[in-house]
Structure 1
Amino acid sequence: MAYEFDRAELESIVSDAQEQLRTVARIQHERAQLVGTATVSNKRVTVSVNADGVVVETKFGPGIENLGYSAIAKAVTEAAQLAAQDLAAKNRDLMSPLRSQQSRLPKLTDLIEGMPDLRGELPTPPEPSLKSPNSAERNPLPGADEMQFTDVESYDHDHEVQHRTTEAGW
C-alpha cells in the first residue's frame, strides 16, 4: 500500500532523518574512544582493545613469573577474547539510541509501493571462531563448508568431447 504524505509529515521525516545523522556523528566520535578490557588468571594478565578490536595494551601483574609460557599465552588469548566481548557490549549500548530512532522512521516499504523489505532477507553472518588458527574445529574436513546445489545437471566426464587445435600456425 502506498503511503500518502502531507507537508507536515514530510517535514517530520526530514527532521527525524537529520536528527538520526547527528546521532550517527556523535556515536562515531564516541565509538572511536571505546576500549574493551579484561583481566584473567587471578589478575595476572590484563588486555585492552581499541574500538576496532585491536590489542592496544597487555599488562602482566604480580605472580606472572609463576606461570609457564603456555599458560601465559592461553591467558593472553582469553583476556583478548573477553576484552573484545566487553567492547562489543559497549558498542551495543552505544548504538541503542540510534536503533530507537530508526524504529520510529517509516520503512522504505511504507514509502514506495512494491518495494521489497530487504531487512528480513539479509542473511545472518556466522559467528567467527575463537579456536586457534590450525585447530580441527576451525578447519573442518574439505568440502564440509562448500555450498550444496540440488537443482543441477550432471556432467559425464567419461564421454567428454576433446577439442584440440591442429593448425600448426596456432
Structure 2
Amino acid sequence: MVREQGEFAKAAILEGLTQQMQEIAEASRRRTQLVASASAASGRVTVTVNADGVVIATRFGSDIDELSYEEIAKAVTSAAQQAAEQVRRQGQELLRPLRDKRAAMPRLSELFEGLPDLEATAPTVEPASLAPPKSRERLARLTEPAPDFRNAVDYEEWSSEQNDRGATSSGW
C-alpha cells in the first residue's frame, strides 16, 4: 500500500513537471513573437525592437531633415531604449503566470532538511547601464567593486554535515 502511494506521488510529480515544461515552452515560443515600437523627436523617429530588445526596424518621418545629426542620434537612442523597456514589460507580463505558479511551490530547502536556501543567497543581477560610452556614470561603475557571494557553503563541508543526520545516518 505504501509503495503504491509512493508510485502515485512520483507519477503526480512527473505529470506536474511535464505540464510545467510544456507551459514554459509555449511561453518561450510566444515571447519570441513580441515586438515593441517607440517614437521620439515628435514622431520623426520610430524604432521597433524584438523580444530581446534588438532593433529590427528604424523609420524616419518625412520631416527628419529638420533635425541635426546629433538630434537624430539622440532620438534613435531614446526611441530604442523606450521600445526595449516596453518589450521587457511585455515579456514580464507574459511570464507572470509561470512566476506566480513557481512562487507557490515549496523551495528545495523546505523539502530537504539542512539544504541552504540558494535563492535567498543568490546575488542579484543589476540592469546594464543605459549611459553612453565614456559617460561619467559608466566610468564611475568601472571603479565599483564587483558583487561577491560571501555566504556560499562548501559542498564537501555541507555534505559531511548531512551524513550525520536523518534515516541515512550510520546510527540507524
Normalising by the smaller structure, the TM-score range is 0.7 to 0.9
Cα distance between partner residues in 1 of 2:14 and 2:84: 36
Structure 1 stretches of 4+ moved >6 Å: none
Q: TM-score, normalised by structure 1?
A: 0.76
Cα distance between partner residues in 2 of 1:82 and 1:107: 36
Give yes or no for the alignment of 1:94 onto 2:87: no
Within a 5 Å distance, the mapping from 1:43-62 to structure 2 comes to 43-62=43-62
Match of 2:119 in 1: 119
What code does the residue aligned with 1:94 have? Answer: L
Question: Against the structure 1 CA distance between its residues 80 and 74, is the aligned structure 2 distance closer, same or farther, given a 3 Å change threshold?
Answer: same
What code does the residue aligned with 1:108 have? Answer: L
CA RMSD of aligned residues (A): 2.2
Contact 1:39–1:47 (CA under 8 A) maintained in structure 2: yes
More helix by share: 2
How far 1:105 moved relative to its partner?
A: 2.4
Cα distance between partner residues in 1 of 2:118 and 2:67: 52
Match of 1:146 in 2: 145
What whole-Å deviation, never above 9, does each CA across 1:129-149 have from its counterpart, x for those lacking one? 11111112111287x31359x
Unaligned runs of 5+ in 1: 149-170
Cα distance between partner residues in 1 of 2:86 and 2:54: 13
Within a 5 Å distance, the mapping from 1:100-115 to structure 2 comes to 100-115=100-115
Which has the larger displacement, 119-128 or 98-107? 98-107
What code does the residue aligned with 1:34 have? Answer: L
Question: Against the structure 1 CA distance between its residues 16 and 77, is the aligned structure 2 distance closer, same or farther, given a 3 Å change threshold?
Answer: same
Cα distance between partner residues in 2 of 1:30 and 1:52: 13
Q: TM-score, normalised by structure 2?
A: 0.75
Match of 1:63 in 2: 63
Cα distance between partner residues in 2 of 1:82 and 1:128: 15
Cα distance between partner residues in 2 of 1:141 and 1:73: 24
Question: Against the structure 1 CA distance between its residues 103 and 133, is the aligned structure 2 distance closer, same or farther, given a 3 Å change threshold?
Answer: same
Question: Alignment identity in percent?
Answer: 39
What code does the residue aligned with 2:59 have? Answer: K
Which has the larger displacement, 117-126 or 66-75? 117-126
Contact 1:131–1:137 (CA under 8 A) maintained in structure 2: yes
Contact 1:47–1:59 (CA under 8 A) maintained in structure 2: yes
What whole-Å deviation, never above 9, does each CA across 1:23-56 have from its counterpart, x for those lacking one? 1100111111111211111111110111221111
| Structure with greater contact order relative to length (CA < 8 Å, sep ≥ 6) | 1
3-state SS of 1:116 partner? coil
What code does the residue aligned with 1:76 have? Answer: V
Q: Of the two, which has the highest radius of gyration?
A: 1
Match of 1:164 in 2: none
3-state SS of 1:139 partner? helix
Give yes or no for the alignment of 1:30 onto 2:54: no
How far 1:126 moved relative to its partner?
A: 1.9
Aligned length: 144
Question: Against the structure 1 CA distance between its residues 33 and 141, is the aligned structure 2 distance closer, same or farther, given a 3 Å change threshold?
Answer: closer
3-state SS of 1:133 partner? coil
